[in-house]
Structure 1
């Protein structure tokens, strides 16, 4: 059985590749470093055409969705599997989503329901999982313990260096005030994102006097509210929340942060820069007494890969609440959630003082992930659903 995998940026690609090999598929790959356009890319299209003319593939598979790949698979009558790891994924508003070759696997239930309601065929809800094979041989040395051990850690961007919200400075005061109100209100609520709902047509009409939404009609369907709510407002909410929560944690505890963001103005933290996903990040999770997760607000209901990676690497997870967490984990038994800065601080203090309870939660979560939520199990589900198993 021969399949074709197309690799661009995205975590989880090597895991999918290795799992398919493990399942006795012969996997060809196209790997490209840059993409000239999601709808049109002559180089990628020619590579695909050459492959599809020479071989008969069971399916083509990617992490995330690429309209140019869908167009080519539709032309040659080959199944195209797209498993999302980002949310929202703007290419899911491409007019190509209705191609009959497509099989979508969506990790965020709200995004899945949106596709279903728009009449998209062959769309399935499938959460992310833990890449147990890649991390199975983790070895912790004495040097690792000295380098990565800490009370509290956070891995991720603070979005200080890349938020679109700064470009709104030229807006009239009443528009800026309206958007500030949305941001302020959203920061008070975990588990339900309502920013897009508050962008009515009159506000969007006024906004478009100052901001141009390029290519919103030619190839894409109704993305302007979604684009603004997420790229502008959602990322700004996340940036403010992450900074606020990390500042609060650092006001009492020593916090190690692994980020490319400039955090030199935050006291009592140690910024250790970027961390390698496969080689270093698992050691951070294993050797931190408490791992903080503050989910990107553009993920409406689902569980980001970070949650699976922390628990699967036997780390203690303290996270904001997401709507889908109770579907997979028992709160306060497998992981711990916070609802506010005060709640976070109390739980950090408590679990730093109660090692036995913390270690029990680590093992509960780890055993559940290994039993029910490995990436290999997810790939098996995909193959069964498309009729390949």
Structure 2
């Protein structure tokens, strides 16, 4: 029987299709098993770290920052966490309404976050009612020129930066505590990220000058790597045009950020410098030793985190076991190369970091410590 050219072409196409189908089925089974096993490990780790927190018989009023994004997710995290910890929570969305709301419901304490845009007469009026006022400064030490005077209008001052405790005491504040930020499990946790957001290396954050200078030295080592940078101001890079296709200048929601973290094998963390004259109000030159909130958010997504070192970091994670560090572009590039080919090591550190984060560094844990300081 004569086989036509068209039939031969159909036969070739069918064999090619069958080959692709078989390869896709094989690869899909392999990848699905691998990803499912990893997510199972992550879920087991999260459950092992869970522990109940006490519920205190107190009434707390939380005054939202009212600053919108990117503060609105933190407002959500604080309110959602406090709800688990106190018998009564009142949330006030507009700071201007806080004094009248406090007069109406008489809470045991009124908590403000950030406070940079809260007129001092608002906490003053609440204090005149005999109600305790609390501020949690979230951007120390970058705006200490402003917060030094604001802090005096509150009964209790909490700061995420350990270096600022003595600073506020010297300014005249009587009750000051160090309390770092954390992560909110409603936003950050391990996820099976879709293929479209997966990559080898990710960095999320604004292009402050210290970061730009560092990446100018780092990027030549990463030319052939699967890299994503997401944030504003990265057009400052010396070789921006060469890497522009890998850079996305935008803000992301916490949920979008968590997907990027979860989809990356390695996430780079780099702290902002407290002496950046463009964006800071820190004329006294206070240094920074405490980790940024991104430290906890990355670890909560079960990705290997490579971070620059702040001296207080070891109080939160064991370097080399729960987190990995670097001190130069060359060291960072070498560790990226190492962990991309040593998957078992990479995932072991990521799981250890996930456990420590879920156990110790949630906003619920932070607020439980705050309530303990306030009410015993």
- Asked if Structure 1 and Structure 2 have the same fold, meaning a TM-score greater than 0.5 normalized by the shorter chain, the answer is yes
Q: 1:139 to 1:345 in 2, by over 3 A?
A: closer
Which residue of the partner structure matches residue 330 of structure 1? 318
Question: Of 78, 81, 97, which residue of structure 1 is paired with 2:151?
Answer: 97
Shift of residue 153 of structure 1? 0.6
> What per-residue deviation string (whole Å, max 9, x for no partner) do you get for residues 305-336 of structure 1?
10000001111101111111111111111111
Indicate conservation of the 8 Å contact 1:105/1:125, yes or no: yes
Shift of residue 249 of structure 1? 4.8
What's the TM-score, normalizing by structure 2?
0.71
The reply to whether residue 158 of structure 1 matches residue 158 of structure 2 is: no
Which entry has the higher C-alpha Rg, 1 or 2? 2
Shift of residue 86 of structure 1? 1.1
Which residue of the partner structure matches residue 104 of structure 2? 54
The reply to whether residue 130 of structure 1 matches residue 187 of structure 2 is: no
User: Can you give the 5+ residue segments of structure 1 that lack an aligned partner in the other structure?
Assistant: 33-43, 160-235
Shift of residue 84 of structure 1? 2.3
Which residue of the partner structure matches residue 244 of structure 1? 216
User: Structure 1: how far apart are the matches of 2:224 and 2:133?
Assistant: 50
> What per-residue deviation string (whole Å, max 9, x for no partner) do you get for residues 131-161 of structure 1?
124435x653xxx4322111111101114xx
**What secondary structure, in the 3-state scheme, does the structure 2 residue paired with 1:29 have?**
strand
Which residue of the partner structure matches residue 33 of structure 2? none
User: Structure 1: how far apart are the matches of 2:191 and 2:203?
Assistant: 21
Question: Of 305, 323, 333, which residue of structure 2 is paired with 1:345?
Answer: 333
**What secondary structure, in the 3-state scheme, does the structure 2 residue paired with 1:70 have?**
helix
User: Structure 1: how far apart are the matches of 2:255 and 2:112?
Assistant: 23
User: Structure 1: how far apart are the matches of 2:201 and 2:370?
Assistant: 36
**What secondary structure, in the 3-state scheme, does the structure 1 residue paired with 2:81 have?**
helix
> What per-residue deviation string (whole Å, max 9, x for no partner) do you get for residues 155-188 of structure 1?
01114xxxxxxxxxxxxxxxxxxxxxxxxxxxxx
Q: 1:268 to 1:119 in 2, by over 3 A?
A: same
Which residue of the partner structure matches residue 32 of structure 2? none
**What secondary structure, in the 3-state scheme, does the structure 1 residue paired with 2:353 have?**
helix
Which residue of the partner structure matches residue 180 of structure 1? none
Q: 1:157 to 1:134 in 2, by over 3 A?
A: closer
Indicate conservation of the 8 Å contact 2:191/2:301, yes or no: no
Indicate conservation of the 8 Å contact 2:135/2:151, yes or no: no
Which residue of the partner structure matches residue 194 of structure 2? 145
Indicate conservation of the 8 Å contact 1:12/1:63, yes or no: no
Q: 1:134 to 1:268 in 2, by over 3 A?
A: closer
Q: 1:239 to 1:77 in 2, by over 3 A?
A: farther
- The 5-angstrom pairing of residues 206-285 of structure 1 reads 236-241=209-214, 243-244=215-216, 247-263=219-235, 264-267=240-243, 270-274=246-250, 276-285=252-261
> What per-residue deviation string (whole Å, max 9, x for no partner) do you get for residues 107-148 of structure 1?
111112322333421100112222124435x653xxx43221
User: Structure 2: how far apart are the matches of 1:294 and 1:24?
Assistant: 35
The reply to whether residue 13 of structure 1 matches residue 61 of structure 2 is: no
User: Structure 1: how far apart are the matches of 2:177 and 2:326?
Assistant: 30
Indicate conservation of the 8 Å contact 1:67/1:97, yes or no: no
Q: 1:356 to 1:330 in 2, by over 3 A?
A: same
Shift of residue 266 of structure 1? 4.0
Task: Number of aligned residue pairs: give it.
Answer: 293
Indicate conservation of the 8 Å contact 2:188/2:297, yes or no: no
**What secondary structure, in the 3-state scheme, does the structure 2 residue paired with 1:98 have?**
helix
> What per-residue deviation string (whole Å, max 9, x for no partner) do you get for residues 324-355 of structure 1?
11111111111111111111111111111111
User: RMSD in angstroms over aligned alpha carbons?
Assistant: 2.3
The reply to whether residue 26 of structure 1 matches residue 75 of structure 2 is: no
User: Can you give the 5+ residue segments of structure 2 that lack an aligned partner in the other structure?
Assistant: 1-57, 275-286
Q: 1:23 to 1:327 in 2, by over 3 A?
A: closer
User: Structure 1: how far apart are the matches of 2:182 and 2:217?
Assistant: 26
User: Structure 2: how far apart are the matches of 1:345 and 1:92?
Assistant: 38
**What secondary structure, in the 3-state scheme, does the structure 1 residue paired with 2:83 have?**
helix
Question: Of 157, 161, 182, which residue of structure 2 is paired with 1:108?
Answer: 161
**What secondary structure, in the 3-state scheme, does the structure 1 residue paired with 2:255 have?**
coil
User: Structure 1: how far apart are the matches of 2:234 and 2:210?
Assistant: 18
Q: Which moved more, 1:145-154 or 1:77-86?
A: 77-86
Indicate conservation of the 8 Å contact 2:85/2:364, yes or no: no
